[in-house]
Structure 1
Amino acid sequence: MGALSREKGKRGEREVAAIISDLLGVSASRRVRQHDGDSDILGVPGWSIEVKRWSLLVPHEVNRAWAQAVEQAQRDGGIPALFFRANYHPWRVMWPISVLLTMQSAHMWVEPQWAAQTTPEAWAAVARELLWRQAHEPRS
């Protein structure tokens, strides 16, 4: 990966961390020291967040990035969320619609056809609801 591409990725991660911090009121930040399999954004409990920036949006690249997000989320024990955008386009977020049905990641539907592609604001509404449930529902 070239230096320009790495810088573009870092800028994208900082943008997403700022968007998440603003929408959720959390202190989201980019992971400075990344290793293969680490999520890109820290500070969002229960979520494993991957960030991708492309020059052009190509559907198979989104599906490949989604597979990466799912794999790292399964390792982290979080819910996958893929923030992505192409140059000159707004951010989109891909996340499993099964989180609306269950909080149990073992039953999560993670294939691309069972994932929503929404605005960051729509994702944040779901994330806020899940964070509220985690904080207020009795533990068994």
Structure 2
Amino acid sequence: MQRNKGAAFERKVAILLTEATGTTWRRRVRNQAGDSDVVADEPAFARISIECKHANVLCLPAWWRQAQDQAGAEGVPVLIYRQTGARGESVLVDAHHLSPNIFPVRGRHTVTLGWEAAMQWMREMLPAKVTFSPGII
């Protein structure tokens, strides 16, 4: 039952990310240890490593370590979680990726964002690193 709950949440997150970013996201069906739960087809998001968790009891430190391990040295760990009964998804990110000037050390501080704020960050900050995007002037 927990596996089905997790898979359903990953599918939901993929749909929400697709709607919020305009980029197709999909659940990685046969993910192995160390793989992101949800991946984008857009190269701008290739470094994003998403870990999804939906649980009755939050285990944020353990989940965050898992997200960091998945991302590795070059990736951007993103933990999208929801506590059963809560409204909306929360997004935990490394503060360094939000503001490297203020938080110069990666992995030292985290920030929890609401869904809308997190999606604004993904839309505005990360795609800007792509050198060419058709249809964008």
TM-score (norm: length of structure 1) = 0.81
Equivalent residue for 1:31?
28
Say yes or no: does 1:133 pair with 2:128.
yes
| 1:133 alignment partner, SS class | helix
- Taking only aligned residues, the RMSD between alpha carbons, in angstroms, comes to 2.0
Q: Percent identity at matched positions? A: 30
| 1:26 alignment partner, SS class | coil
Deviates more, 1:28-37 or 1:123-132: 123-132
Say yes or no: does 1:122 pair with 2:114.
no
Deviates more, 1:118-127 or 1:128-137: 128-137
- Of 80, 94, 116, the match for 2:77: 80
Checking the alignment, whether the CA contact within 8 Å between 1:12 and 1:51 is kept in structure 2 is yes
Residues 38/132 of structure 1: CA separation in 2 closer, same or farther (3 Å cut): closer
Equivalent residue for 1:66?
64
Amino acid at match of 2:57: L
Structure 1 runs, 4 residues or longer, greater than 3 Å off: none
Say yes or no: does 1:42 pair with 2:39.
yes
Deviations 1:33-59 (A, max 9, x none): 0101101001033210000110233xx
Instruction: Give the drift of 1:130.
Output: 2.3
Instruction: Give the drift of 1:134.
Output: 0.3
For 2:11 and 2:95, the matched residues in 1 are separated by 26
Residues 116/25 of structure 1: CA separation in 2 closer, same or farther (3 Å cut): same
| 1:109 alignment partner, SS class | coil
Checking the alignment, whether the CA contact within 8 Å between 1:24 and 1:128 is kept in structure 2 is yes
Count of residue pairs the alignment pairs up: 125
| 2:72 alignment partner, SS class | helix
Deviations 1:13-51 (A, max 9, x none): 011111111110110011000101101001033210000
TM-score (norm: length of structure 2) = 0.82
Instruction: Give the drift of 1:12.
Output: 0.6
Any unmatched runs of 5+ in structure 2? Answer: 133-137
Say yes or no: does 1:56 pair with 2:54.
no
For 1:32 and 1:83, the matched residues in 2 are separated by 17
Deviations 1:82-110 (A, max 9, x none): 001111112100001111334xxxx6522
